[in-house]
């Protein structure tokens, strides 16, 4: 009949709420990535972002130095021995497959980058909070770095 409207169900679709939450996770320009970029820039380094012509489209590329910095989220990239990387108990098989797949893809990308002559540094999300430690890791990776 005309004029009658369908009513929406009174329940909340948990799947769609979870999906929306997961879709809100950013792929680029994450907070840890931005902190690393700011530190590199303040130290005088210039870099390129997410170069599509390199395997895995690396986060930070320093072409002059042939160096690449990857900033990994502890959960999504399966950081071992990290409390942020705790896998969910619900739907455990799916999460295990997803995170293990990410780790395999990451290893292939790093190997391909090294084969192309790039040096690669992986910085984990949990390491970014300690600015002194982050600066130290960057100094080791970029020897001509002046802090």
Is 58 among the domain residues?
yes
Cβ of 78: how many Cβ atoms within 10 Å? 21
pTM as predicted: 0.79
User: 63, 118 in Cβ contact below 8 A?
Assistant: no
Q: Is residue 117 part of a domain?
A: yes
pLDDT on residue 91: 85
Contact 60/69 with Cβ under 8 angstroms?
Answer: yes
**Domain membership of residue 32 as a residue range:** 26-141
Confidence of residue 11 (pLDDT cuts 50, 70, 90): low
Which helix (DSSP H) or strand (DSSP E) does residue 122 occupy? strand 119-124
- Contact predicate 47/40, CB 8 Å: yes
- Identify whether 7 is part of a domain: no
Kindly indicate the confidence band of residue 1, based on its pLDDT and cuts at 50, 70 and 90. Answer: low
**Per the structure, how many domains does the chain have?**
1
Mean pLDDT, the chain, rounded, equals 84
Residue 76 pLDDT > 50: yes
Q: Bigger pLDDT: 38 or 89? A: 38
Provide the CATH number for the domain around residue 34: 3.40.960.10
What span, in angstroms and rounded, lies between the C-alpha atoms of 36 and 120? 14
pLDDT more than 70, % of the chain: 78
User: In whole angstroms, what is the distance from residue 9 CA to residue 74 CA?
Assistant: 37
DSSP state of 49: E
């Amino acid at each position: 009949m005309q004029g009658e409207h369908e009513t929406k169900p009174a329940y909340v679709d948990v799947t769609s709420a979870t999906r929306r939450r997961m879709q809100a996770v950013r792929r680029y320009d994450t907070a840890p990535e931005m902190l690393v970029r700011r530190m590199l820039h303040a130290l005088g380094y210039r870099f390129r972002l997410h170069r599509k012509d390199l395997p895995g489209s690396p986060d930070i590329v320093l072409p002059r130095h042939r160096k690449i910095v990857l900033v990994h989220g502890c959960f999504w990239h399966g950081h071992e021995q990290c409390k942020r990387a705790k896998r969910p108990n619900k739907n455990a098989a799916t999460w295990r497959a997803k995170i293990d797949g990410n780790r395999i893809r990451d290893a292939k990308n790093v190997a391909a980058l090294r084969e192309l002559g790039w040096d690669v540094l992986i910085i984990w999300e949990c390491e970014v909070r300690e600015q002194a430690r982050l600066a130290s890791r960057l100094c080791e990776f970029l020897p001509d770095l002046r802090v």
